[in-house]
Chain A
Amino acid sequence: MSIDEKTVRKVAKLARIALPEERVAPMAAELNGIMAWIEQLNEVNIDGVEPMTSAVEGLSLPMREDVVTDGDDPERVLKNAPKAEDGFYVVPKVVE
């Protein structure tokens, strides 16, 4: 399956990465090189195989009580914010 320039633009949009026009064609070529190499996985017989989920057998994800264990510390949470005001993040306008 070949990745064309239209697909590269679409994927870059999905990934929210601005891709200058001059990088679209080279990126398509790079991705095609990598994906062509990955195509060899189609040779593997995966009939009846369950996808792998854990390295150690017999483990299931642990459950815990649904209680608050941390938080109530807006100052620490906002410490690294590029923009913050009155205990909130300041972000570009989301709703017109």
Chain B
Amino acid sequence: MTLDCIAKNMTDLTSLTLAQALDGMGKKQFSSAELTDAFLKAIDQANPKLNAYVAVTADKARAAAKTSDARRASGKAGALEGAPLGIKDLFCTEGVRTTAGSNILGEFAPPYESTVTANLWRDGALMLGKLNMDEFAMGSSNETSRFGPVVSPWRRGNSDAPLTPGGSSGGSAAAVAADLCLGATATDTGGSIRQPAAFTGTVGMKPTYGRCSRWGIVAFASSLDQAGPIAKSVEDAAMLLQSMAGHDPKDSTSLPNALPDFRAACGKSLKGMTIGIPKEYRVDGMPDEIERLWAQGIAWAKDAGCSIKEISLPHTKYALPTYYIVAPAEASSNLARYDGMRYGARVAGRDLNATYEATRASGFGREVQRRILIGAYVLSAGYYDAYYLRAQKVRARLNEDMIKAFAQVDAILTPATPSAAFALGEKGDDPVAMYLNDIFTVTANLTGNPALAVPAAVDANGLPLGLQVIGKALDEETVFSVSAALEKAADFRTKPAKWWA
């Protein structure tokens, strides 16, 4: 579809990519106000069915669009001028309720703005609303949210059974896939950007740990949490990351390194690159479709001029168990702040301790309680060395694997997830089975490497499957180059049927 044609049909504005929309506004084919209205209309129609937004800030969005149009008219357009985005409810947004999907935050309205969102507004973008997520980003299916699960815009074949969009950034992924925003912010602690992106046919980028400031993002596991975009294309993801990332003195782990031009990396030739294929990712019981997807990805990389090299990441099988010590331990410390005294909902008990206990029992959901208890256990007296310290040492082993691999290859190619999206309620009983969703994504969190999920194929039921490209620390550019080439080869254009409209 050409922009001229789209400009005549405002309902189609929502299907544009970020790059196309910015181009259209730049050519005065439509305004940010028109684009914003088109999205607000689409959200009104879809949200009762999809539950992707937990708050829609329509008035603020319209006002921001008007201001943005004036700014553009005066020749002061920013890099994302007038682009309507969705924001995961983990990012503090000044004066707008921020809950992390948890009851314990009540009606918390932050008196400050997160650095990542402030960077987006600095560049002219605007917020449509806050996006649903698993409680405190703990989950792979969006079923632990206080607002109930997001329903994926995708369905299996002719079935109406509601599927998960993945998690924890399920609202972000569903909103992008269903054309309810141009792009969205998300966060990734064990796979929470890449798994939902793979489940919904969208692009999800987790940059190197420290690229995006964590300031103003509700903390889950501080040594793993990293923000990134979910977008409609690799190029869009590059443009969003360019704005979101950058050094921030308010986060002591924020990287001081200068940002390269991510968008410029997207069209670069792969000739002469070496792509690593880790043999340990060929897990037992991997569905044939995932095997085929991976083989296809390898073939595309070869066609693009890469040489392929089998590599070994020998500690891969220990990544998930390591994660399930490190993440709960850090979460139990971070979530100690929710005591009902300074913000959120307080449940009174007979004394101070009883008030804490009642507040936390009623405010935290089951999965969050489970993880806090694991964390408190592994950090309790006498166990610290056996669990947390050992896990941090295994983590160093995983990092050694990565460093050795990147001495031989430019990027690593794997499937993004071990399966396509599953049905809501399908994996409710067994926490470990749910945790296995992150088997391919979690290593990059433990080691801090950048990694991107790009849609590559559909399975027999017509559901999207994604490939993952992992890069060297600080080398997002190669990740974007390889991913853009795979995207071009895959030519993934399937969209979910708009059954909610």
Residues in A lying within 8 Å of B, measured CB to CB:
3, 7-8, 10-12, 14-19, 27, 30-31, 33-35, 37-38, 40-44, 46, 49-57, 59, 61-62, 64, 76-77, 79-83, 89, 91-94
Complex CA distance for A61 and B255, rounded to whole angstroms: 10
Q: Is the pair A18, B360 in contact by a Cβ cutoff of 8 Å?
A: yes
A41 to B352, Cβ gap below 8 A?
Answer: no
- B interface bracket (residues with beta carbon within 8 Å of A): 35 or more
14 A-B pairs (CB sep. < 8 Å): A16-B336, A31-B373, A33-B432, A44-B393, A52-B392, A53-B392, A55-B448, A56-B474, A64-B249, A76-B111, A83-B346, A92-B351, A92-B352, A92-B355
Minimum distance in angstroms from B326 CB to a CB of chain A? 9
Question: CB of B395 within 8 A of chain A?
Answer: yes
* Contacts A44-B315, A76-B111, A82-B340; A51 near B389 (Cβ below 8 A): yes
B:366-413 near A, CB below 8 Å: 369-370, 372-377, 380, 387, 389-397, 399
Q: Bound complex: CA of A37 vs CA of B389, how far in Å?
A: 17
Set A12, A17, A80, A93: member contacting B108, Cβ < 8 A: A80
A49 to B360 Cα, complex, angstroms: 37
Is chain B's interface secondary structure helix, strand, loop, or mixed overall? Answer: helix
A57: chain B residues within 8 A (beta carbon)? 473
**Complex: chain A residue closest to B257, CB-CB:** A56
Given contacts A11-B380, A14-B376, A44-B397, contact A55 B370 (CB under 8 A): no
**Which of B255, B370, B377 is close to A56, meaning CB atoms less than 8 Å apart?**
B255
Q: Does B300 contact A (CB under 8 A)?
A: no
Are B373 and A15 within 8 A (Cβ)?
yes
Residues on B with C-beta less than 8 A from A59 are: 255
Whether the Cβ atoms of A17 and B109 lie closer than 8 Å is: no
Shortest beta-carbon contacts, A-B, top 4: A55-B448, A51-B392, A80-B343, A18-B357
* B209 CB contacts on chain A under 8 angstroms: 55-56
Identify the stretch in B165-173, B274-282, B316-324 within 8 Å (CB) of chain A at 4 or more residues.
B316-324
Find chain A residues with CB under 8 A from B369 CB.
17, 19
Residues of B within 8 A of A14 (CB): 376, 380
Q: How far is the CB of A94 from chain B (nearest CB, A)?
A: 6
Which of B321, B346, B446 is A38 in contact with, Cβ under 8 Å?
B321
Q: Which residues of A contact B387 (CB under 8 A)?
A: 38
Nearest opposing residue in chain B for A45, CB measure: B397
Contacts A17-B369, A91-B341 given; 16 further ones with Cβ under 8 A?
A11-B376, A15-B332, A17-B360, A18-B354, A18-B361, A34-B370, A38-B324, A44-B394, A51-B393, A52-B399, A55-B399, A55-B447, A56-B255, A56-B473, A64-B249, A91-B352
